[in-house]
Amino acid sequence: MCTYNTEHATITGSGKGRTGWMALTDATVYFDHPVHAQAEHTLNIDLTGAGEAAGNRIAVELTAASARELVAAIERALGNVPPGLL
């Protein structure tokens, strides 16, 4: 079953795609069937940059457990940064 629930976020960062490094400006996150991951459903994240060709993106497919662990690891990493650096 597909949820069709898609979230969008404006981001600032860089990522390395098939043509090299690019500025990242947008994230699309959704839970659906993966293209490549060996799972029935995954949390899919597409990172793109303004002005990039439609196919130039960074795609991530994570199991729900892996996605939650990634969120927790990000929170732990940010929680350990001295306030002046954020």
Domain boundaries of the chain, sorted by first residue: 6-85
* pLDDT-based confidence at residue 55 (cuts at 50, 70, 90): confident
Does residue 53 have a pLDDT over 90?
no
Extended strands (E) in 1-86: 6-17, 20-32, 42-48, 58-62
Q: What is the average pLDDT score of the chain?
A: 93
Determine the pLDDT at residue 52.
Answer: 84
Quote the pTM value. 0.88
53, two tokens = 């060709």
User: 12-26, pLDDT tens digit by residue?
Assistant: 999 998 889 999 999
Rounded to the nearest 5 percent, the helix, strand and coil shares of the chain are 20, 45, 35
